[in-house]
Amino acid sequence: MKWVYIEDIAKYVGEKVELRGWVYNKRSSGRVRFLLIRDGTGILQCTIFSPEKEHPLFDKFEELTQESSLIVRGKVKEDKRAPGGYELEVEDIEIIHIAKDYPITPKPHGVSFLMDHRHLWLRSVRQHAILQIRAEVIRAIRDFFDGRGFRLMDTPILTPSACEGTTTLFETKYFDEKAYLSQSGQLYNEATAMAFGKVYCFGPTFRAEKSKTRRHLLEFWMVEPEVAFATLNDIIELAEDLVVYIVSRVLDKRKKELETLNRDTKPLEKIAKPFPRITYKDAIKILKEKGFKIEFGDDFGAPEETILSNSFEKPVCVTRYPLKVKAFYMQPDPENPDLALCVDMLAPEGYGEIIGGGQRIHDYDLLLQKIKEHNLPIENYQWYLDLRKYGSVPHAGFGLGIERTVAWICKIDHIRETIPFPRMLYRMYP
RNA sequence: UCCCCGGUAGCUCAAUCGGCAGAGCGGGUGGCUGUUAACCACUAGGUUGCAGGUUCGAGUCCUGCCCGGGGAGCCA
């Protein structure tokens, strides 16, 4: 008998097939038994009928508990009464393993309990939908860059010092030396961009900030393109194209999952080019009009970002922040040397920053001066300065946070559900 | 690091003014011929986070600690 997956079940109506999976739930009513089986691709209702009170399959049904693993064989039928429209008329049950006292029931649980059981929580319908969308987002990102001739360049996780010199890093040992877990692949990608023209890296990044909010993880995934000869405007366009591509791909391929999450897709359907662009100065004006006590030169806090994000239907690109609130490598605006040629993209519906990027300094002397001003150890940046010594060109790039993007697309309120095993302040188990 | 909230059965929660610690789910037993987080009946299940204090009497009030959640700063 053919082993099939539930996501393909419609193709087998009228045929006898085999399913391999786990018991999601079971119900009974008199001489009818309902077994909800999940196999990782979906959930299917399996039915057992008997005109007699006793039946060998009833005995096996009784034995089964939530999350017990099994193989069922039977005939696929179309039936409007079944959730999903299809069901399996069971002819044979082969029990593989009986699960005893599965802790997560089909009833509500608290966050703390669910996080302690994250390894099992992943089996639930909602987590399944979110992580399917995450996988789709990642696939879309790779297709987008690969399709545009970008070269994948994996950057190191173990680094000798801070990339940006701003956030706190996780420290580890490198034999007798100290090493730090990477917080960005950008600096290395400036080197690979000079070798390959347009590149991207995609990997985990680490921030040892003691952030305890719904939009922070200590370990998260980021995609970072870097393009030689590109200016600020070039990468804003690239960022727009990328976000439009990701959203339309999820709308196209993961409609069912969005529905599972009760995600209203109308706001997502509006995501098209061009996105609104405002300068930092405009943003300050908007915030002041809304009654915020904020002055030119201040960076935005979470409430400010939420207000800006809610002010537009599409992601908004905020450009030209004051240099002093940004990283040392930011290229100054030729029209106003106090401003940086940078961009932050804020996702709508209150989600806030999903992209940060900009044009990098390509002048050797200016970069050297900034490294000194920021008290960074020059010996660690010799190679980075070299890039400005041998055929330096203007270049730009950005980083997009995967988890924040997934949280926005799914419209879920906490980032911890967008990665299989979140690493958070005071929580490293499981 | 700071601010706010919480910790009672395996889970989600209730417990009036300080007066016998309870319900639903889950488990067990039985019932029901189409269930939809099924339903109905019965049943077992407690160191009320920990330590101390006030009181005739503390889940409830006080002090300290531990753990968790939310937020701030910082950032994607």
Residues in chain A: 430
Structure tokens of A305? Answer: 């970002």
Residue A106 within any structural domain of the chain: no
Same domain, A128 and A199: yes
Residue A366: domain span: 118-418
Answer yes or no: is pLDDT of A393 > 90: yes
Residue A110 within any structural domain of the chain: no
Answer yes or no: is pLDDT of A166 > 70: no
Same domain, A222 and A151: yes
Distance between CA atoms of residues A54 and A49, nearest Å:
11
Residue A390 within any structural domain of the chain: yes
Structure tokens of A341? Answer: 């040629």
Bases in strand B with any atom closer than 7 Å to a protein CB: 1-2, 10-13, 24-28, 31-39, 67-76
Residues 163-192 of A with CB under 7 A from strand B: 164, 166-167, 184
Residues 316-335 of A with CB under 7 A from strand B: 325
Residue A113 within any structural domain of the chain: no
Mean pLDDT of the A119-123 span? 92
Same domain, A327 and A406: yes
Residue at which a domain ends, from A97, A128, A143: A97
Residues 91-150 of A with CB under 7 A from strand B: 101, 103, 105-113, 115
Answer yes or no: is pLDDT of A339 > 60: yes
Residue A423 within any structural domain of the chain: no
Q: At A270, which amino acid appears?
A: K
Mean pLDDT of the A348-369 span? 94
Residue A108 within any structural domain of the chain: no
Answer yes or no: is pLDDT of A293 > 90: no
Question: Percent of chain A having pLDDT more than 90?
Answer: 68
pLDDT score for A256: 92
CA distances from A376 to A163, A234, A382, A406 (A): 10, 29, 11, 34
Query: Per the structure, how many domains does chain A have?
Result: 2
Query: Residue A50 in contact with residue A64, Cβ under 8 Å?
Result: no
CATH number (domain holding residue A205): 3.30.930.10
Mean pLDDT of the A91-101 span? 91
**Residue A82 CA distance to nucleotide B71 C1' (Å):** 44
Same domain, A142 and A78: no
Q: What is the DSSP string of A14-77?
A: TSEEEEEEEEEEEEEETTEEEEEEE-SS-EEEEEEE-SSS--HHHHHHHH--TT-EEEEEEEEE
pLDDT score for A163: 53
Same domain, A19 and A60: yes
pLDDT in tens, A22-42: 999 999 888 899 999 999 999
pLDDT in tens, A211-255: 888 888 999 999 999 999 999 999 999 999 999 999 999 999 999
A54: confidence class by pLDDT, cuts 50, 70, 90: confident
Strands A86-97 and A43-49: parallel
**Residue A426 CA distance to nucleotide B55 C1' (Å):** 39
Same domain, A242 and A125: yes
pLDDT score for A162: 57
Residue at which a domain ends, from A97, A129, A155: A97
Residue A109 within any structural domain of the chain: no
Highest mean pLDDT among A152-166, A314-328, A365-379, A388-402 belongs to A388-402
Nucleotide nearest to A427 (CA to C1'): B68
Answer yes or no: is pLDDT of A139 > 90: yes
